[in-house]
Amino acid sequence: MKPIKNCFRYADSVDILLMLVGMVMAMANGAVLPAMVIVFGDMTDNFTFEFSNTTLGEEMTRYAVYYSIMGGVVLFAAYMQVAFWTLAAGRQVKRLRKLFFHSIIKQDIGWFDVNETGQLNTRLTE
């Protein structure tokens, strides 16, 4: 079995940084769901207490603000997670295609007689 670092052998330090930031954003995105469960539990516990209508309304407004903040965190973290991972993947694919193109250019002229031009274009775009 090959080591895991072979998967990232075309990643430079910027790509690794982008992936790490994307991973942190993924953790932030994943941490919000348990927080929502806790806030929901606290909110439902407040229904069992004897509150006046204004006090209950203030409590529910507070929980609505909590949910809005958590929703904003999810939107931001999920977008940044996907953006950073997509950017890192695009940079690595660009580097890989460039290396593939240079390896094609270094081939002997007879190699181009055997392989069709359209086939090379297909390989570069896949």
**Residue 9 falls within a domain, yes or no?**
no
Domains in the chain, number: 1
pLDDT at position 115 over 90: no
Locate 89 and state its tokens. Answer: 């993947």
pLDDT at position 66 over 90: yes
**Residue 99 falls within a domain, yes or no?**
yes
Angle at which helices 53-105 and 13-46 pack, to 10 degrees?
160
Domain coverage including residue 79: 14-125
The pLDDT value recorded for residue 20 is 96
Cα-based angle 89, 94, 99 (whole degrees, multiple of 5) = 125
The pLDDT value recorded for residue 101 is 83
Cα-based angle 86, 88, 89 (whole degrees, multiple of 5) = 65
**Residue 3 falls within a domain, yes or no?**
no
Average pLDDT over residues 67-94: 96
**Residue 8 falls within a domain, yes or no?**
no
**Residue 1 falls within a domain, yes or no?**
no
The pLDDT value recorded for residue 15 is 94
Are the C-beta atoms of 16 and 79 separated by less than 8 Å? no
Are the C-beta atoms of 105 and 35 separated by less than 8 Å? no
Rounded distance, CA 42 to CA 28, Å?
Answer: 21
**Residue 44 falls within a domain, yes or no?**
yes
Confidence bin at 40 (pLDDT 50/70/90): very high
The pLDDT value recorded for residue 47 is 78
**Residue 4 falls within a domain, yes or no?**
no
The pLDDT value recorded for residue 6 is 80
**Residue 39 falls within a domain, yes or no?**
yes
Following DSSP, what letter does each residue of 17-54 receive, concatenated?
A: HHHHHHHHHHHHHHHHHHHHHHHHHHHHHHTTS---HH
Of 29-33, 40-44, 75-79, 106-110, the least confident: 106-110
